[in-house]
Amino acid sequence: MHQSKLRSWRLPVTASVVLLGATALTACSGDGGSAGAGSEDGYEIAVLLSSSQNGYNQAVAKGVQEMADELDADINLTLLDGQFNADTQLSQMETAGVGDKYDGVVVVPFDGPALAAAFPLGNGIPVTSVLNPIGPDLSEMEPQVEGVVSTVAVPAGEAAAKQAEDVVTYCADLDPCKVVLLVGQLNAPLDVTREESYREVLEAEDNIEIVTTVEGNYDPDQSATTITNVLQSTPDVNVILSNADQQTKGAQIALEDAGIDPSTVYLTGGGGTTESIQNVRDGIWKADYINFPVSMGAAAMEQLYNALTGADVESYVNADEVGEIEPYATKETLDETPDYVGEWEG
Amino acid sequence: MTSTTARTTAPRITPAKALAFLRDYAVLILLAALLIVLAIASPSFFTFANLVNIVNQNTPLALIAVAGTFVIISGSFDLSTAAIYAVGSVAAAWVAMETGNVVLGLLAPPVIGLALGVFNGLAVTVLRVHSFLATLASSLIFQAIAVLITGGALIQVSLDGFSELGRGRIGGVFYTVVILIVFVAIMWFVLKGTVFGRHVFAVGGNPDAAQLSGVRVDRTRVMVFALSGLAAGMAAAIGVSRIASGQPQAGAGLEFDAIAAIILGGTSIYGGVGAVWRSVAGVFLIALIGNGFDILGFNPQIKDLVTGAIILAAVGLAAAGIKRR
Residues of B in contact with A79 (CB under 8 A): none
Q: Are B251 and B239 in contact (CB under 8 A)?
A: yes
Question: Is B4 a member of any domain?
Answer: no
Query: Which of A212, A232, A275 is nearest residue B49 as measured by Cβ atoms?
Result: A232
Q: In whole angstroms, what separates CA A199 from the centre of its chain?
A: 22
B chain contacts of residue A219, beta-carbon cutoff 8 Å: 249
Cα separation, A181 vs B99, in Å, equals 39
B42 interaction partners in chain A (CB closer than 8 Å): 233
Task: Return the residue of B nearest to A188 by Cα.
Answer: B301
Length of chain B: 325
pLDDT of A249 reads 95
Q: What is the CA radius of gyration of chain B?
A: 21
Residue B87 sits at the vertex; the CA angle it makes with B83 and B92, to the nearest 5 degrees, is: 145
In contact, B86 and B247? CB cutoff 8 Å: yes
CATH 3.40.50.2300 occupies which residues in chain A? 43-153+293-319, 157-291+327-335
pLDDT, position B308: 87
User: Considering only A5-9, A29-33, B116-120, B177-181, which range has the smallest mean pLDDT?
Assistant: A29-33
According to DSSP, residue B8 is labeled H
d(CA B262, CA B280): 8
DSSP string, A149-215: EEEEE--HHHHHHHHHHHHHHHHTT-SSEEEEEEES-TTSHHHHHHHHHHHHHHTT-TTEEEEEEEE
| A250/B50 Cβ within 8 A | no
What's the pLDDT score for residue A184?
A: 93
What residue ranges of chain B have pLDDT lower than 70?
1-11, 318-325
Q: Closest partner residue to B152 among A14, A17, A53, by Cβ?
A: A53
Mean pLDDT of A117-127: 95
Q: Is residue B182 part of a domain?
A: yes
What are phi and psi for residue B103, nearest 5 degrees?
-65, -45
DSSP structure class, residue B194: S
pLDDT digits (tens, 9 = 90+) for B259-316: 999 999 999 989 999 999 999 999 999 999 989 988 888 888 888 898 888 888 877 7
Average pLDDT over residues A70-98: 91
Q: Looking at chain A from residue 255 to 284, which residues have their Cβ under 8 Å from any Cβ of chain B?
A: 256-257, 275
Chain B residue numbers with beta carbons less than 8 Å from the beta carbon of A346 are 154, 245
- Asked if residue A133 lies in contact with residue A140, where contact means CB atoms within 8 angstroms, the answer is yes
Chain B CB within 8 Å of residue A215 CB: yes
pLDDT in tens, A212-262: 999 998 889 999 999 999 999 999 999 999 999 999 999 999 999 999 999
- Confidence band, pLDDT 50/70/90 cuts, at residue A24: very low
The pLDDT tens digits for A190-200 are: 899 999 999 99
CA-nearest of A191, A70, A57, A204 to A131 is A57
SS3 A324: coil
Confidence at A34, pLDDT banded by 50, 70, 90: very low
Summary mean pLDDT of chain A: 88
DSSP state, residue B206: -
Contact B243 A250 (CB under 8 A): yes
Residue-wise pLDDT for A134-182, tens only, equals 998 888 999 999 999 999 999 888 889 999 999 999 999 999 999 999 9
Q: Outline where DSSP puts E strands in chain A.
A: 43-49, 75-81, 104-107, 127-131, 148-153, 177-183, 208-215, 239-242, 266-271, 287-290, 316-318, 328-330
Check if the beta carbon of residue A284 is closer than 8 Å to that of residue A335: no
With a pLDDT cut of 70, the percent of chain A lying above it is: 88
DSSP class of residue A127 equals E
Q: Which of A74, A124, A129, A76 is nearest to A96 (CA)?
A: A124
- CA dist A294 → A105, A279, A299, B283 (Å): 17, 21, 9, 41
Residue in A232, A248, A255, A276 to test binding to B, most B beta-carbons within 10 Å:
A232
Measured between alpha carbons, how far is residue A243 from residues A192, A198, A214, A333 in Å?
11, 10, 12, 19
Q: In chain A, pLDDT over 90 holds for what percent of residues?
A: 73
- Which of A230, A233, A346 shows the shortest C-beta gap to B154? A346
Q: Count the neighbouring beta carbons within 10 Å of the beta carbon of residue A33.
A: 7
pLDDT value at residue A4: 44
- Identify which of B191, B213, B212 has the alpha carbon closest to the alpha carbon of residue B200: B191
Contact A226 B290 (CB under 8 A): yes
The better pLDDT of the pair A53, A335 is held by: A335
Confidence label for A23 from pLDDT (cuts 50, 70 and 90): very low
Confidence at residue B172, expressed as pLDDT on a 0 to 100 scale: 85
Total-model pTM: 0.81
In this prediction, residue A244 carries a pLDDT of 94
> How confident is residue A39, by pLDDT bands cut at 50, 70 and 90?
low
Q: Is the predicted pLDDT of residue A6 greater than 90, yes or no?
A: no
What does the pLDDT read at residue A3? 44
CATH class name, domain A157-291+327-335: alpha beta
**Residue B184 resides in a domain:** yes
User: Is it the case that residue A84 has pLDDT exceeding 90?
Assistant: no
- Across chain B, mean pLDDT equals 91
- Is the CB of residue A41 less than 8 Å away from at least one CB of chain B? no
Which CATH number goes with the domain that contains B229?
1.10.3470
Among A214, A228, A256, whose Cβ lies nearest the Cβ of B300?
Answer: A214
Residues 6+ apart with CB under 8 A from B304: none
Domain of residue B248 covers 25-324
> Looking at residue A133, what is its pLDDT?
94
Cβ contact A232–B151 (<8 Å)? no
Question: Does residue B8 sit within a domain?
Answer: no
Beta bridge partners of B73: none
- Given B45, B249, B294, which is nearest A214 (Cβ)? B294
- Our CA angle for A26, A28, A33, nearest 5°, is 75
A220/B152 Cβ within 8 A? no
Measured CA to CA, the distance from residue A113 to residue A265 in angstroms comes to 36
User: How big is chain A by its Cα radius of gyration, in Å?
Assistant: 23
Q: State how far Cα B203 lies from the chain centre.
A: 20
Q: How many domains does chain B have?
A: 1
- The string over B150-172, giving b where at least 16 C-beta atoms fall within 10 Å of a residue's C-beta and e elsewhere, is bebbbbbbeeeebbebbbeeeee
DSSP per-residue codes, A76-97: EEEEEE-TT-HHHHHHHHHHHT
On whether residue B150 sits in a domain, the answer given is: yes
Whether the predicted pLDDT of A61 surpasses 50: yes
Residue B13 lies in a domain: no
Q: Is residue B140 part of a domain?
A: yes
Is residue A128 a contact partner of residue A303, using CB atoms and an 8 Å limit?
A: yes
- A215-252 in b/e burial notation, b at 16+ Cβ within 10 A? bbbbbbbbbbbbbbbbbbbbeebbbbbbbbbbbbbbbb
B198 occurs within a structural domain: yes
ipTM (interface predicted TM): 0.80
CATH code of domain A43-153+293-319: 3.40.50.2300
Cis peptide before B11 (omega within 30 of 0): no
Rounded to an integer, what distance in angstroms lies between the CA atom of residue B142 and that of residue B145?
A: 5
Nearest-by-Cβ selection for A58 from B153, B239, B250: B153
The pLDDT of residue A38 is above 60: no
Q: Give the separation between CA A238 and CA A110, rounded to whole angstroms.
A: 32
Q: Which of the residue ranges A38-47, A82-91, B223-232 would you say has the lowest mean pLDDT?
A: A38-47
At A105 the three-state DSSP class reads: strand
CB of A20 less than 8 A from some CB of B: no
* Residues in A 67-86 with any Cβ partner in B closer than 8 A: none
